[in-house]
Structure 1
């Protein structure tokens, strides 16, 4: 008998079916869904992650279409439930139902809708429409939200921004991605009242060893990484492993101690994920910019006990400024250990090696008017420098119950920078009044239209920060008021040192009749200029060393009042001991 061939459509469906039904399988023999109650402790998360956690705990197999659960969020599940009751809770309000086959296999499918009831030809039934924003997990790589509902900077607790009585703005990773942000200064352009600039001249140049952040008129070099204070390095802050940037405007001294009144900037980094994720990106830009970023994360064990994340980036570019360049290598591995559903620990490391051309911007003025020069003009010289930054951190947390939790962090950040020689334009002899003044007392030769430069030689800066922080958070009610209570303490050890030499002696020699110091023509600068490289003045060597210990204890209470009013108050004890030399 001749067999009728299968239709092309039937063959296509057979081939596509396995790809549309992903399987969550247990590593142990599957048990029946009728087993007894179990203790569940699942946070609100994406429905796919919740189903994976359910399968691991109950050892049941789940079959479902990946598109069926995409974009859905499961409610939190805490307490003792049978597997069937727990699954019903997880699928609540999702429009998904399950059916049991063979006593040990659960198949998820879209719930059937009830047929429309007969309606009158003259009237329609009333309809109540209730809307609720669905916020995906902020750490989900596919989360495209521009607005994140929660932030930790203002309260050190994961509190909705609308319930935080402080001005907190969050720049999400989708904003950073869409804008192709490569340094912290670019990210902060999204926040009003915040500007960045180099330490001495405010040029906004990222190719400097130090950078200040001006927030509401108060300048500071301090910024925070996951709540950990960093005194230096915001100019070189690599964005490859940044999840979001939080900006708190206003006082933050109760929780963070020595902070400028204008506010603070907190960088939130990417964390290891239980869902495997791999990405590679390549950026190209003006002035020969190219930047490569690699990101990989996922579980190291089948039960998701160990999670890892490794991020690597390399950036190289020139600048619109002459003699300025940037070359940076960044590597950030992290390892998370899920000891139990209520206890986690994580170890993280960052290493950055950055080479840069130091830039000291200067525009000469003649008769009180700035000279019209190209933006690229640099009156300094080629000044290659380098910065090495190493960050090591370990933190752990434990959830005692639904109301009380504790977390502890130990961190160290080591930052070293070195610039062999850097020239700073300090006078402008193209200005007639300045030229006449020098001709009145300097006995050495004077070249009109020149820009004399003071050079700093062997500039070394070392900034090491060590810290430990402990927070205890509790939730309770009194007289109908909801409280979120925070007890905490922190300790910081800041060790900083800097040293350099100059060629200041060449200026004193010039005043007495010696040769000119290093200088360059203001109208037609030809590098490396005259009398360069400079002559080191051995008497100009200086070195400063500062050691600072900071101790802090704080208490904070967030109170939720009726009618959506929120009150927050706290107190801090701070002790600072500094030993400069």
Structure 2
């Protein structure tokens, strides 16, 4: 009932705003812009639009997440676009498969394999929500969300630096915007089948085309069964993603994008370290309990976007997003440390029943003005959302009498399982109302200036259903941003920007008072280069970021927190993407990150942040040509490198005692990719990941929750177009 009421209210709002937008439609003539669908575009032929791409581009010129038509080379911000071609060359079926190939991205705790999580420029997102993620410009990480599938993904935009001036609550290191596939006006269809190591099987369908002169559709479907090198761990998932485009008038368009995803897998916290050593416990060892079965995550998303052009200078957009999520199931999870014998691991049993409803409404007005020698692109917008987030957890903690333990060297499964008792039962409601402005100015031939600001009013209410206690807070935030670019010639750009961000802290202090929100500020300088044909580009950026009001341990009240911590990250990231020649395309990245704790009541001051390597980098290269019979082929590969990382937060007491830090070792992982286009309609592909079967560890939360990287995996695929 709550869902029906919230969705009905949101739909009423979009209908009212939409009617206002449409009033001038009959009296206006329009000229096409970047965001409008015209009859000319509708008649353009579609080439390599479904299935895996051939001879596509790694390099992009624009990003919808920036909310400006300014080309990326001229934008005073570091932005990295991962194209569909890159995803295809990586054989990426989840966005997690591609994240290592972008500069400044570091893997974080993935909640036992139940979500995607990275840090951008050394700063991770909310521990309860995962990485800062947008889906077509709407929040994509509120609530619980399964790892994202790539079946309906057109590209991934990495918006580095603060995004709060456009999107509100966020991390100052950057934000990821996932852009989904849109309907096309020429019929195209593909079906793909894959089989690989560890009983991996996947089938995918991509079909698109017109349903008439004014309506086009797209449908992406994928079904996957994935075994694992991990004992007793396998995954099943299915995704259905429909999309529609309706040209209501020559100047008005309505787009719908939907997604329904089910993901089922056991919660797998990984392996344990013996002291500070990794490798004593086999990488295949599962330390949960097979009898727990799967955790099931159900996600569904529905988005509507109504765009209207009043004339060549003014346009508007109204968007509505509804996102529903649920997570339910039992798990058995390791305690923070082994027993003194260094082989006995006590475990905790949990039952989770989480649910979330997230409704967002956006309205924007875009104008293009000329004031003397200065051209302005103006954006004025408002956003409001409501999130209902219910968490119910039952938990059984181990005791000396009932240790619920396992021998990590000789595990015996099937022992009697403790019955978990009520632990958490909360209902959280978040509401937000925001207004934002952005002005992108072209100051003659050589200068670009961008300024923006957003005002947020955030209302949060958390009800403890077990005690009846309610905590409320209503913080406000002003998030400005300014940036400037200098274009000395058509190939080079020098840029600088600075901005602020904020993120509300969840929970309450020992006195049942809400925490002040986190506040961040960041500055960036850099250079961009693009070749004359605009097929190859590079970005180099230097940055410094600081965050305050990070939650830290309360020195007076044990078990509680206060908002008094500070962290800092400074470094460099470099990205190079595009076509080196007619036959070669390249994707390369390199990052240096110095991220540390500046002030904390528990953690070591000056200590590194969890899972952040000082250096990481990647290379992906593909070569394409044709055989003498005219059939095409491609072969390539690449590698990713990560330096050693802190694997468990180091306390002041441990540092004072001289205890060595627990670190994850550095690693280099290579991959191979190849294809043979047997005919214009049939393609055979081969993907080999971790080519040399390296044992490596991607992230850690504590010594008993260490995530292991995949061993060598081989996937053979067949793609057919019809």
What's the TM-score once normalised by structure 1's chain length?
0.69
Once the two structures are superposed, what CA deviation does each residue of 1:228-259 show, in whole Å capped at 9, x if it has no partner? Answer: 00224565211100000000110111000001
1:402 matched residue in structure 2: 312
Question: Residue 483 of structure 1 corresponds to which residue in structure 2?
Answer: 376
Task: Go from structure 1 to structure 2 and tell me whether the alpha carbon gap of 1:544 and 1:52 turns closer, same or farther (over 3 Å shift).
Answer: closer
Q: Give distance in 2, aligned partners of 1:137 and 1:278.
A: 9
What residue is the counterpart of 1:160 in the other structure? 71
Name the SS of the counterpart of 2:117 in structure 1: strand
State the match for 1:460 in structure 2.
353
Q: Does 1:451 align with 2:337?
A: no
* 2:242 aligned with 1:333: yes
* Structure-2 residue corresponding to 1:533: 417
Superposed CA RMSD in Å reads 2.7
Secondary structure of the residue aligned to 1:273 is coil
Contact kept? 1:333, 1:348, Cα under 8 Å:
yes
Instruction: Report which stretch shifted further, 463-472 or 417-426.
Output: 417-426
Compute the displacement of 1:352 (Å).
0.7
Residue in 2 that maps onto 1:151: 63
What secondary structure is seen at the aligned counterpart in 1 of 2:92?
coil
Give the equivalent residue in structure 2 for 1:376: 284
Structure 1 residues 306 and 462 mapped into 2: Cα distance closer, same or farther (>3 Å)? same
Higher RCO by CA contacts (8 Å cutoff, separation 6 or greater): 2
CA apart distance, 1:290: 1.4
Secondary structure of 1:189 counterpart: helix
**Residue 215 (structure 1) aligned with residue 97 (structure 2):** no
User: Match of 1:228?
Assistant: 138
Task: Map residues 194-273 of structure 1 onto 2, 5 A cutoff.
Answer: 194-199=105-110, 207-208=113-114, 210-220=115-125, 221=130, 222-230=132-140, 231-232=142-143, 235-273=146-184
For residues 544 and 488 of structure 1, what CA distance do their matches in structure 2 show? Answer: 33
Structure with bigger helix share is 1
Cα distance per residue 1:148-182 (max 9 Å; x no partner): 1111222x133311121111110001111111111
Output one character per residue of 1:411-447: Cα deviation in whole Å (capped at 9) or x when no partner: 1100101122333244423x34x7xxxxxxxxxxxxx
May I ask how many residue pairs the two structures share in their alignment?
A: 425
Report the CA distance between 1:42 and its aligned residue.
Answer: 5.5
For residues 328-380 of structure 1, give each alpha carbon's deviation from its aligned partner in whole angstroms, at most 9, with x where no partner exists. Answer: 010011221111221101222211111112101231424x5446121111222
Change (3 A) 1:42 1:580: closer
Q: 1:571 to 1:262 in 2, by over 3 A?
A: same
Query: Cα deviations across residues 88-114 of structure 1 (Å, max 9, x unaligned)?
Result: xxxxxxxxxxxxxxxxxxxxxxxxxxx
Gaps of 5+ in 2: 1-28, 464-722
Between structures 1 and 2, the one with greater strand share: 2
* 1:498 equivalent in alignment to 2:407: no
Distance (Å, rounded) in 1 between the aligned partners of 2:49 and 2:449: 27
Q: 2: distance between equivalents of 1:520 and 1:50?
A: 66
Aligned equivalents of 1:40, 1:474: Cα separation in 2? 13
Larger radius of gyration: 1
Alpha-carbon distance in 2 for matches of 1:329, 1:495: 25
Query: Could you list the runs of 5+ residues in structure 1 that have no partner in the other structure?
Result: 1-38, 55-68, 72-135, 435-448
Q: Where do residues 344-355 of structure 1 align in structure 2 (5 Å cutoff)? A: 344-355=253-264
The answer for the alignment partner of 1:170 in structure 2 is 81
The 3 A distance-change label for structure 1 pair 52 and 152 is: closer
Deviations for 1:477-525, whole angstroms, at most 9, x for unmatched residues? 1121111000001011111121111122x51xx3xxx3x3211112211
Kept after mapping to 1: 8 A contact 2:199/2:227:
yes
